[in-house]
Amino acid sequence: MARGKKHTPEQIVSLLRQVEVAVASGKTTAQACKEAAITEQTYYRWRKEYGGLQVDQARRLKELEQENAKLKRLVAERSLDKLVLKDIASGNF
């Protein structure tokens, strides 16, 4: 995979399972990661975030994270609007 290429949650869970099976069959984590075409760092990062999740759970997690980020941006914009309106109303512009 090219550097910076995004994997879908389904692909991530599949790759994690592939590495886990290879390690269980006696390979080192480094060998298993190399066969899966990911770095060990990526494997551990993904395992921390997606470890133990089923494919549908991983997909839902990503959807919720995206929705949460969108809501945080909306709250920040509203807070800024409120501050601007408050300054205008008090004559501090």
Q: Is 3 part of any domain?
A: no
pLDDT above 90 for 67 = yes
SS (H, E, C) the chain: CCCCCCCCHHHHHHHHHHHHHHHHCCCCHHHHHHHCCCCHHHHHHHHHHHCCCCHHHHHHHHHHHHHHHHHHHHHHHHHHHHHHHHHHHHCCC
pLDDT at 79: 94
Q: Give domain status of residue 26, yes or no.
A: yes
User: Residue 4 falls within a domain, yes or no?
Assistant: no
Asked whether the predicted pLDDT for residue 7 surpasses 90, the reply is no
Q: Is the model's pLDDT at 1 over the cut of 80?
A: no
Would you say residue 2 has pLDDT above 60?
Answer: no
For 14-60, the pLDDT digits (tens) are: 999 999 999 999 999 999 999 999 999 999 999 998 887 787 888 88
Identify whether 23 is part of a domain: yes
The total of structural domains in the chain comes to: 1
- Checking if the pLDDT of 61 tops 50, the result is yes
Is 1 within the bounds of a domain? no
